[in-house]
Structure 1
Amino acid sequence: MKKNFLILLLGLLVFSGCSKDDDTPPVVEETPEEETPALTRADFPVQDFMYQAMNEVYLYKSRVPVLANNRFNSEAAYVDFLASEDDPLDFFEKLEADIDRFSFATENYVALENAFSGISKSDGLELSFVAYTLDGVRYAAGIIRYVVPNSPGANAGLSRGQALITINGNRLTIAGSSLSSQAIDLLNLDNYTLGISPGFENSQTLSIATSDVSISKIQLTENPILVSKTLDVNGTKIGYLMYNSFVSQFDDELNAAFADFEADGIQELVLDLRYNGGGSVASAIDLCSMITGQFNGEILIKQRWNDEYQAFFESQGPESLLNRFNATIFTGTPQQEPINSLNLSRIYVIGLKSYTASASELTAIGLEPYIDVQLIGNGTVGKFEASATLYDSQNFGRENANPNHTYAVQPLIFTYANANDVVGPPSGLTPDFNATESLDNLGILGDPEEPLLKIALDQIIGRSYSGKSSSQKSNLLEIQGLKDQSPIYQKMYIDNLPLIKK
Structure 2
Amino acid sequence: MKKFQYAINGMALSALALVLSACGGGNSQVLGPKPADTGGNGDNNGWVAGVYRDADTFKNLCEAPRSGRSQFTNLTFPDKRGTRTDEKNFLRAWTNETYLWFDEVTDRSPTIDSQTPQDYFLLLKTNRTTSSGAPKDNFHFYEPTEDAEAWEAGISYDYGFRLKVYSSTPPRRYFIAYVEPGSPAATAGVQRGDRIMKIDSYDLVTEESNAGLMALNEGLFPSELGAAHNFELQAVDGSSKMVSLQAGQIESKTVLHSSVIDTDSGKVGYLVFNSHVEKSQDEWVTVISQFKFAEVSDLIVDLRYNGGGLLSIASLASFMIAGTNVQDKVFYEQIQNSKQPRLEPFPFLDEGLYGLNKNVALPSLHLNRVFILSSESTCSASEAIINGLRGANVEVFLIGATTCGKPYGFYPEDNCGTTYYTIQLKGANAKGFGEYSDGFIPSNSDNGTTRVKGCSVEDDLNHQLGDSSEAMLATALRFRATGNCASAVTRSQQKTQAEFNNGELILPDTRKIMVLDR
TM-score range, shorter chain: 0.7 to 0.9
- Cα separation, 1, equivalents of 2:389 and 2:401: 19
Q: SS of the counterpart of 2:434?
A: coil
Give how far 1:40 is off: 6.7
TM-score, length of structure 2 as denominator length = 0.73
Instruction: Look up the match of 1:169.
Output: 201
- Work out which of the residue numbers 394, 410, 414 in structure 2 matches 1:371: 394
**Alignment pair present for 1:490 and 2:512:** yes
- Cα separation, 1, equivalents of 2:349 and 2:498: 45
Correspondence 1:128-143 to 2 at 5 A? 128-131=164-167, 138-143=170-175
- Work out which of the residue numbers 272, 281, 286 in structure 1 matches 2:302: 272
Correspondence 1:241-390 to 2 at 5 A? 241-294=271-324, 295-309=326-340, 312-313=341-342, 320-332=343-355, 336-352=359-375, 354-369=376-391, 370-390=393-413
Matched residue type, 1:442: N
Instruction: Look up the match of 1:433.
Output: 454
Change (3 A) 1:132 1:56: closer
Instruction: Look up the match of 2:68.
Output: none
- Cα separation, 1, equivalents of 2:495 and 2:318: 30
- Cα separation, 2, equivalents of 1:120 and 1:487: 15
Give how far 1:113 is off: 1.2
Give how far 1:487 is off: 5.7
- Work out which of the residue numbers 37, 40, 47 in structure 1 matches 2:88: 47
- Work out which of the residue numbers 379, 393, 406 in structure 1 matches 2:417: 406
Matched residue type, 1:368: R
Give how far 1:140 is off: 2.5
Give how far 1:45 is off: 2.6
Change (3 A) 1:132 1:279: closer
Change (3 A) 1:464 1:94: closer
- Work out which of the residue numbers 121, 128, 146 in structure 1 matches 2:178: 146
Give how far 1:331 is off: 2.6
Give how far 1:149 is off: 0.6
Matched residue type, 1:433: G
**Alignment pair present for 1:423 and 2:434:** yes
- Cα separation, 1, equivalents of 2:482 and 2:457: 21
Aligned residues: 409
Q: SS of the counterpart of 1:307?
A: coil
CA deviation string 1:143-194 (max 9, x = no partner): 111111100000001111111122212133799xxx9666433322232111
Instruction: Look up the match of 1:86.
Output: 115
Percent pairwise identity? 25
- Work out which of the residue numbers 72, 77, 102 in structure 2 matches 1:61: 102
- Cα separation, 1, equivalents of 2:151 and 2:142: 14
Give how far 1:43 is off: 4.7
CA deviation string 1:325-376 (max 9, x = no partner): 1220113589512110111011111101x20000110000110132110111
Q: 1:227–1:241: 8 Å Cα contact kept in structure 2?
A: yes
- Cα separation, 2, equivalents of 1:305 and 1:174: 49
- Work out which of the residue numbers 216, 225, 228 in structure 2 matches 1:191: 228
- Work out which of the residue numbers 472, 475, 484 in structure 2 matches 1:452: 472
- Cα separation, 2, equivalents of 1:128 and 1:117: 24
Give how far 1:85 is off: 5.3
**Alignment pair present for 1:127 and 2:163:** yes
Q: 1:236–1:461: 8 Å Cα contact kept in structure 2?
A: no
Change (3 A) 1:195 1:371: same
Q: SS of the counterpart of 2:331?
A: strand
- Cα separation, 2, equivalents of 1:142 and 1:215: 17
Change (3 A) 1:238 1:438: closer
Give how far 1:423 is off: 1.3
Give how far 1:438 is off: 5.1
Q: 1:436–1:471: 8 Å Cα contact kept in structure 2?
A: no
Larger Rg: 1
Change (3 A) 1:335 1:386: closer
TM-score, length of structure 1 as denominator length = 0.75
Give how far 1:257 is off: 0.9
- Find runs of 4+ consecutive structure 1 residues off by over 6 angstroms: none
Q: SS of the counterpart of 1:380?
A: coil
Q: What is the root-mean-square deviation in Å for CA atoms of aligned residues?
A: 2.7
- Cα separation, 2, equivalents of 1:340 and 1:491: 26
Residue ranges of structure 1 left out of the alignment (5+ in a row): 1-36, 67-77, 202-208, 314-319, 393-404, 497-502
Change (3 A) 1:180 1:338: farther
CA deviation string 1:40-65 (max 9, x = no partner): 78452322222122112112212213
Q: SS of the counterpart of 2:370?
A: strand
